[in-house]
Chain A
């Protein structure tokens, strides 16, 4: 069975096959012998070339979280069609999104304002901490979707910067 995952915007293919009761994983042309036990619903004990790793795995639909030695990996299972879609070029229009549920404290740039790269656009507060969101590109503020004091969800578009 072959699976395709996206990790940190990179696409990887992995094929799992069972041969003589042994599990073989093939990743990008390399074959790896794998021995594994599912210890709990979210915990695997995996032996790769004799190296023992405890791996936490949590899957929700297409999204898989994997925890290995202090590091959380976020993977997404992708289909052939989605793979093609991800290769499009980034345009000169950037949406500035709230990184988490937060409150808009201060708007530093209004609609039509010119901004330079790395210039502060908006200040949001979450968990008692203020963060200034900066423009990734030089351009103009095209749309401003929020006002000071607004509570916003994670991923909500706060404003749009256009380089055109």
Chain B
């Protein structure tokens, strides 16, 4: 096993990886940008190394600086997390050439799956169904012709894309030109490559993905599916496992197909094969993410399998000691991504300082986060505040638990989507599992609170204006929660004997 691992990421996932390393007895090195000196991952790691300016290009995407940091600190391996350099073939290659283990698949597997057109070819070769569309990147004129051929609605996607960037749904021919322009421009600024392809848009599609894990000997297992159909701006907001929509037969079929794709590129480590599924459980290959997913915890909750730890163990040369038949799932898990964003303004990010924070807890509740009282949500990075994950025996119980956990959350300082998430949990269609990727678009009423709690809001605001502390006798306020705790539990600080 490694003695020291560098985490080339920030935020919640960096914290998650640091904790996995701790569990395995591995010492950790954090890297950070100017904006992140006060971030939790820096505080939690054993060592930390400043790698540059706040813009990702100057720090978390700066391959040379990160490799240098690994060399200087003596880290034997780098975990890239997700986003940033996690699916960057040349970074994985540079690690290899510097004698540092890249915790993930081979540069070759990243390359093959990173280009969506090549990925489609590979999937096609191993007889995985594909959505009809253009055979590769297209010019503006070709794109328009193909769109006419396959019929509207069509989807424009960036060839080098991911995470919904450079992606546009076009419902009719009139909008095609402007959507194409936006998709190309977004693709250019996000990936430095504006090539796009066009494919048929499936009505009411569900997003189902299969988690796979493989060791270096090619033992490849699937850890069942996650359903991520609740999306805004083509980015996932709520994920769950298992999917309420698929039969055990479809589950097995999808799992086996996913394993076939992974094996075709000699995949190693944790990866995810994404499918789009229609209402009759026909599924089509979308893409493979050659990294750990944001939503990996829901799979961990139903299988008891620690994905991040196994990524590290596999990278260090360990073999998977399980067979497919040993992997069983139990209960139901849900994840809500809590974002600093405003659902009422089409989910526009809301950066700022977290002025107050209270997070939910209790049995079956997991909050993967890196925020704390007083921390700043900068405009430089993704505005995700935390991932709230719950587990319960059934889907119904998991939804109830999630709703109650969300109600425990309090965040001041930035706008969040918590109220929106609560309303989704209470939505009848969601509760029945009748969901698809158009769910949010179809339910604009969920974006606004139906009843404003004006009275309590006014009372609380008025109380904050009046300086008095409490309604009853103005009790002496303990100056800190530690003192309060001490007073309650009857302990006091005394000099050591």
Contact = CB atoms under 8 A, between A and B. Distances in A.
A21 B461 contact: no
Contacts of B348: 99-100, 131
Q: Which 9 A-B pairs have the closest CB atoms?
A: A70-B419, A42-B356, A70-B418, A71-B419, A56-B410, A58-B412, A64-B461, A73-B457, A127-B349
B115 to A, nearest CB: 21
B185 A36 contact: no
B422 A70 contact: yes
Nearest to A42: B356
6 contacts: A25-B458, A35-B471, A56-B356, A68-B460, A70-B409, A102-B379
A105 interface: yes
Interface string B360-383: 000000000000000000011111
B358 interface: yes
Determine the interface band of chain A, counting residues with CB < 8 A from chain B. 35 or more
Contact of B355 (A16, A34, A42, A99): A42
Contact of A67 (B410, B466, B481): B410
A123 interface: yes
Interface in A138-160: none
Interface residues of B, number: 58
Contacts of B356: 40-43, 56, 58, 67
Contacts of B418: 70-71
Contacts of B422: 69-70
Contact of A72 (B379, B380, B412, B458): B412
A66 B189 contact: no
A128 B421 CA distance: 23
A71 B453 contact: yes
B469 interface: yes
Given A54-B410, A56-B412, A123 B182 contact: yes
A16 B463 contact: yes
A66 B355 contact: no
Interface string A45-57: 0101000011111
B415 interface: yes
A27 B434 CA distance: 42
B185 A130 contact: yes
Contacts of B190: 128
B186 interface: yes
Contacts of A94: none
A37 B165 CA distance: 47
B466 A16 contact: yes
Nearest to B186: A130
Nearest to B408: A54
B74 to A, nearest CB: 33
Contacts of A73: 452-453, 457, 461
Interface in A1-53: 1, 3, 5, 7-8, 12, 14, 16, 18, 21-23, 25, 27, 32, 34-38, 40-44, 46, 48, 53
A7 B462 CA distance: 13
A57 B456 contact: no
A129 interface: yes
A64 B412 CA distance: 10
Interface in B194-236: 233
Given A53-B456, A127-B349, A127-B351, 6 more contacts: A25-B458, A66-B456, A100-B348, A100-B379, A101-B379, A128-B190
Nearest to B379: A101
B182 A99 contact: no
B379 A32 contact: no
A61 to B, nearest CB: 11
B161 to A, nearest CB: 12
B471 A36 contact: yes
B340 to A, nearest CB: 9
B353 to A, nearest CB: 10
Interface string B170-204: 00000000100010011001100000000000000
Contacts of A59: 461, 464-465
A14 B457 CA distance: 11
Interface string B410-431: 1111011011111000000000
Interface in B452-491: 452-466, 469-472, 477, 481
Interface string A107-129: 00000000000001001011111
A77 B186 contact: no
Nearest to B423: A70
A12 B458 contact: yes
A65 B233 CA distance: 27
Contacts of A56: 356, 358, 410-412
Contacts of A5: 458, 461-462
Contact of A44 (B182, B349, B421, B463): B463
Given A36-B471, A57-B461, A66-B457, A100 B413 contact: no
B37 interface: no
Contacts of B412: 42, 56-58, 65, 67, 72
Nearest to A8: B452
B127 interface: no
Interface string B245-265: 000000000000000000000
B455 A27 contact: yes
Given A12-B454, A48-B455, A130-B186, A66 B351 contact: no
A75 interface: yes
Contact of B463 (A27, A36, A120, A132): A36
A32 B457 CA distance: 13
Contacts of A130: 182, 185-186, 189
Nearest to B355: A58
A17 to B, nearest CB: 11
A130 B351 CA distance: 16
A36 B421 CA distance: 28
Contacts of B449: 71
A106 interface: yes
B459 A25 contact: yes
Contacts of B452: 7-8, 71, 73
